[in-house]
Amino acid sequence: MTRHIISILMENESGALSRVAGLFSARGYNIESLTVAPTEDSSLSRMTIVTTGSDEIIEQIKKQLNKLIDVVKLIDLTEAGHIERELALIKLRADNANDRDELKRLSDIFRGHIVDVTPESYVVELTGTGGKIDGFLEALGDRCVIEVVRSGTSGIGRGDRSLDL
């Protein structure tokens, strides 16, 4: 079982997302995260899917995705050099001076930004790999975390490796 990041360019049609989501549920494939948004070309959407499976399963996933009529192009980012990023917004309980100082320090260490401050709470914005965000959450422990929202992974190939028409 290995983790793969699959990026696809799809026709920006209504229902395109449900075709992909439906494919994964109908065929019982794992799906760790899925993100989708329009690209610089408004007729296309770009979707990033993080999935795990054996080599055979991953091969099938790619073939089945390619078979969807709306899919224009697909790459498996994890096959070569790539950058992956996830955005997290984390609301923390910060209602005393000690906690406030410690949370600020921890956030700095992970290169997070505090983007909302109230007398009771902080919201930290953190970008990085999924692993880095996991690390930050682990360092926080669960005592002060009120809410976590993660964007799911986006990715792009390094150098001249790109997904375009």
> Which residues form the interface with other proteins (CB under 8 A)?
10-11, 14-15, 18-19, 22, 26, 56, 59-60, 63-64, 66-67, 69-72, 165
User: Residue 115 Cβ, how far from other proteins at the closest point, in Å?
Assistant: 36
Phi-psi label, residue 128: left if phi above 0, alpha if psi -120 to 50, beta otherwise? left
Tell me which amino acid residue 60 is: Q
For residues 46 and 62, what is the distance between their CA atoms, to the nearest angstrom?
A: 15
Q: Which residue's CB is nearer to other proteins, number 71 or number 92?
A: 71
Q: Judged by CB, which is closer to other proteins: 76, or 134?
A: 76
Quick one: 67 or 105, whose CB is closer to other proteins? Answer: 67
Q: How far apart are CA 144 and CA 103, in angstroms?
A: 9
CB of 67 to other proteins, least distance (A): 5
Spell out the alpha helix ranges (H) of 110-155: 130-140
> Shortest distance, CB of residue 37 to other proteins, whole angstroms?
18
Nearer to other proteins, 75 or 123 (CB): 75
In this structure, are residues 10 and 32 in contact, taking their beta carbons and an 8 Å threshold?
Answer: no
Going by C-beta distance under 8 Å and a sequence separation of 6 or more, which residues neighbour residue 18?
none
Smallest distance from the beta carbon of 2 to other proteins, in angstroms?
Answer: 17
